[in-house]
Structure 1
Amino acid sequence: MHTTFWNIRSDERHCVRSPHLKAVISSEERVVMVRRDCKNRNACILQLCDCIGGTINLKAVGIYPESYCMDSNFVIVTDGRVIFVWVYSSQEDYRGSDELIFDIDEILNIKSVATTRSGSNQIPVALAVASSNSKLYVARVNGTLLCFSLPLLVLERTFTFDPLIRPTVLKLNCSSTKLSMISLNGGLSVFDLAKNSSKTRSSTTSTLSPLVQRKDTWDMIWDDDNPEAIAYIEKAKVGSCILSNDGNSLEFQETCSGYLLRSCSTHISAIMLDDIFSASFMKICTLIQRFDSKTLLLLSERIEEEGLVKAISFAEKHNQDYIWRALARAAIDQRRLDIAEKMFFRLQDYVGIRFIKRAQQQIDEIRQDAEIAFFLQDFNSAESIFRFDLALNLRLSLNDVHGVLRIVRQSEYNDDDISLYSAWDRVGDIYFDRFDWPAALTYYSKASSFEKMAECCCLLEDFDGLKAIRQNIVDQSPLSNHIDGIFQSFGMDSRDKRMTETYSTNTDSLMSEFDNDVRSLLSDSALMAAASPILRQKVSVMKAFKVQQEKIIRGVNAWRDSAALHYFILAHRQLYNGNLQFCMRTAIKCSEYGDVNVFDERATWQLIALSSFHLQYHEVLRRALIKLETLSSWHNEEVTVLGQYRDLNLHIFGLTKEEKPTSATLESVYENFLEHGHTYNACTLTGQAIFDDSPFLSCNCCNHNMLKKEGRKKVMSCALCRSNIILSLD
């Protein structure tokens, strides 16, 4: 099974696979798909998605729900007895668990746990649920309606209603003061929660009496901004009702067999799902029916019969912003810009006032018509008035790819027209933003946009396409070097890909070095060199234990290899954590093990040079650079890198005495080691030197030391060999 996310504005569709789908619920820009757990048929999975179907979060629930609802912060599901509340978008002042679950019969014993017992073998007592940002309502079989506060789930009130209703759908209005139900037999009932609560303030239980009742109703929706207005579909007609103290007024009824999409002060919209399944190729905008409200219909009749001036009195009587806005649009449509300007002044609509001023300044009537059509969003009329380039920009600003293609097909411009090439490029950008790389590549090729074509080919791993692009561009250009670098990174043969001479030579040398390195690493004598430093350190510790236990080699320090790798790894960790002071000192200790062939000695001195440069220990940096220049481990192919070290040394320390940077002072124990090679003890946990007056702990297995203050705070085992160390806390 698949679920389609369809943008009704851009007509963009995203299809998402959703196996074992039970229901889809939504709130604002978030969607939750309720799916049955394939491993446990009495459980479900809540999949939180964004507006294009991308999964944000998953939540496994130990019940299989029969009723569910969702708002901007909570997802509530129930199987009839157990209610599960998922706080998927926590409020700022909420610090509790994101999962709340409880049995309705045990409402005083609410627990914040992740799993619960299944209620599949018990009689369901809850029929439907509805929620807002602060309230949760649960309708039960016995005719009671429980009101909980969210997110703490404290029972606040209990209402009673006719138990014969047996609601299957509950919905709250925008102010959470009225509740509507659709029963099992299709009856619509609307209740006033605020009125019943105020009557019985001394009691926690009150009886609900319906304000409105309708038969054969199968869908309903509350108004977005008017808490007294509700829309519903009764049989094959859509109706709207205004609830008031004087009585309920039926606004209108129109023939409709769709599903309610939205209700607001100006209109009610419904979508024809049956037509979508039968004609999925159609645009979504053609499958949405819009019904204007009764007030707007009366306003339109008043404008047609009496004119705009007389309709102002009708607008003053109702005095709603949407009525004044509709009157302004009608005035613009009739080219009565002076009346429209007064309406925008009343609404304090700065954009509308600017439009009126701009339209009044147009001397040509055709240009004024184009401005008006664009403001009224009559884009087809505006396109017919605009010239070719303006019509293209209009459709491109709307991301209307089909409109752009239609304009291009109908145009009589040559293929070398600048506007046409720009249009192809913009269409490619639209598809690129939608992650449709093949379509974007097609339009980029029409626009001859080689850089964007190369980017699409990289994303598609289309090396033949990159080869074709490379053959059509000039050598030594930035794009050619970029494409050659891509081929080089993938190890492509230069003769096959027509790379430049420089990149061809470098690629051949790199590939030969790669083959030689692989052969050497695969040889029996160098298997450990291919392993990670952490694995090698663990193996060396095991080897040292074995040598120490069996006393295989006398007079040899079995822990020297392990200590070298330990300090080497520790220095890198300190570097990545941003602790350059400890990194430099640990790397200095690591350089003591230059005779141990377990890592490249250059890496140690590079660490010392890097950390000392940032810490402004220029004397240490000078020694590190000199050491890097004099090492014998450089290959002939690395002469360029060696020359860069020499240039850096000359650039920093070849200055005059006045221009030389000041150097920070290092402790004497490190200076003596760097100058004379005097070794010292270092802490295995931090890599820092252990001075004569510093209390330390010694490991009985590897005989390495650790500062006592560090051992007290952090560990009770040796950082090198992981043996237990007895801490003395005196």
Structure 2
Amino acid sequence: MAERGFVKCGDYSGIQYVKRLQLLNDRVKQKAEVAAYFQNFDEAEALYRKIDRKDLAIDLRQRLGDWFRVVQLVQSGGGNDDLLTHAWNMIGEYFSDRHKWEKAIKYYVQAKNTNALVQCYYALGDFNQLEALVNDIPETSPLLKEMAIKFTRAGLCQSAVETYVRMGDVKSAIDSCVLLNEWERAVGLAEQYNFPQIENVLTKYASHLLMNGKTLQAIELYRRANKSTEAAKLLAKLAKEVGKNPLRAKKLHVLAAFEVERMRKKMLDVSNLTSTKGTTAAQVTAQTLESLVQHDAATGEDRSLDNPWRGAEAYHLYLLAHRQLYSGRIERALRTCLKLSAYEDILEEREIYSLIALTAFYTKHFEQCSKAFVKLETLPGLDDKELRAMSELALKIFTTTRTEHQDPTMRPLECPNCRYQVKEWDARCGNCSRPFPTCVMTGMSIQAQSTKMCKACRHVCIEAEIRDQTNCPLCHTPFSFS
């Protein structure tokens, strides 16, 4: 009867429905299907349960999308764990589609659906829960990369790094640090995992620091990375900028010199080359030559690195001359001052010759004083007022002194090599050109005195002058005299 009615109505789906009913061999099942057809779902479920067919009741609720009822039926013993998990996922999806994230999370947690939980926690901005999920996800899961990207977008560098490292992607971890301006962390990662492109990371970070005026941090970065040449160049540049503060400039020049020494020692350490098993003498020679070429290339752009201690010497003698002058040791101060004329490329000429003129005046070395005034009056950049003041001062000095413009008679000194007469402050013999090293303790020229050398900076001192000294006067390395 029903089939004929559907035929009359032209309802093809109804005809198929009747055929399915005819295939059912149970009268109760047929009644349940009819009840469901007329949307009496509770009645249909009751009929299925009456014949102890919870599986059919669950199937009915699944077709209806009534997942809450599916959960109830499964929990009452009508299904398996997989079906229960599927039902929880479907309920979570129901709530997430309506942006009810907290309720969705409740069901996704029960279903252990990590992918869905990541989306919900991210939508809520609950990054603490996201971080807690990282350790529960397998290292090979592509979900880790998605989470790391989300952490990076949220500015959570530490979480992003830990996630990338967990999946073994150090490059992405470093890129994330760079993107978030966490340069120090990026360098640390590159060093920790021996990242092959660490040079690029260092260069970018150093540029970032220098652009922000953080020169000292850039120097420290280069030192940590064993980039002694770059560190020395920055230190020397910084020393030039702080020339008005001689003590600070000296310290910076000493640090720059030590960095250059560290680079040289590393490049020319033959003991390391020869310790390699199977290394021949020819190979050692070739490697040493290669190191020399690298050293020349490294220092070629900045010639101050060829003689790195020169800047430290200049400011050391400049400070020493002032201490000697103000402590009343004017004769020693003059000898030290006259050494400063060799450092015109580092110290300001006006500072050098003003100090020489003043000290020479007090010691009555009027020849040296006159030479200093001549030098001062010919300095470029002087205005008329300054030039006139200098001329008047020179005139006053040399017209009020009864002696000629000469230095007082001094005890004769001879060059140990050729017996030619030299002065106390001469840096080399005028006849044989033998150099006289400078005592960094007193500023005196060392001609025949017994000396001791500092192991660190290789500068010498007169032995009699350093009996109570425990540190090198120039580099301040303790107990370093051989």
TM-score normalised by the chain length of structure 2: 0.37
> Radius of gyration: which is bigger?
2
TM-score normalised by the chain length of structure 1: 0.25
More helix by share: 2
Q: Which fold has the larger relative contact order, with Cα–Cα distance below 8 Å and residues 6 or more apart in sequence?
A: 2
More strand by share: 1
